Amino acid sequence: MRCELCGKEADRLQRVIIEGTEMMVCSSCAAYGKPAPTPKAKKPVSISPSKKEYYTRDIFEKMNKELVPDWGTKIMKAREQKGLSRQQLGAMIGEKTNTVAKIENQELRPSDEKAKKIEKVLGIVLFQDVKPAIIKKKKVRGLTIGDLLKKDE
């Protein structure tokens, strides 16, 4: 092995701290630094099978609101009614003028926190309740030759 300081071949290298850097050096270069503390062995981490965690709750449970479909025009009209410029609205909600323009043009969807700030500043409602999907079960029957013929037409 070679000394990291002088490059000499050495049978045995010592771990030394020189100028704040830990190095493996020969016995003659070891005089330039302080002996480094021996590294402590890390305890192996055991994962016992009894500590497995399973997520059973639905992640969509709390997602009961969504932005209204025309949120961009709604924001722009409310801003204009209040007599605010995009720059002024941006300063009030902590966003750049370009970002406000992109939000109004619906090129950029605001985060939920920003949307709530916009609601508060402009006095509008941007969120609507999510309507649960109603799935009607159809009576299932097998395909007939007539069904196949209708598909091809």
pLDDT in tens, 37-53: 887 777 776 665 555 66
- The pTM of this model reads 0.49
* Options 1.10.260.40, 3.40.250.10, 1.10.274.10, 1.10.4080.10; CATH of 65-129: 1.10.260.40
71 C-beta neighbours (distance < 10 Å), count: 21
Domain boundaries, the chain: 1-38, 65-129
Interval 68-81: pLDDT, tens: 889 999 999 999 99
Cα four-point dihedral sign 110, 116, 122, 128? positive
Residue of 90 and 41 predicted with greater confidence: 90
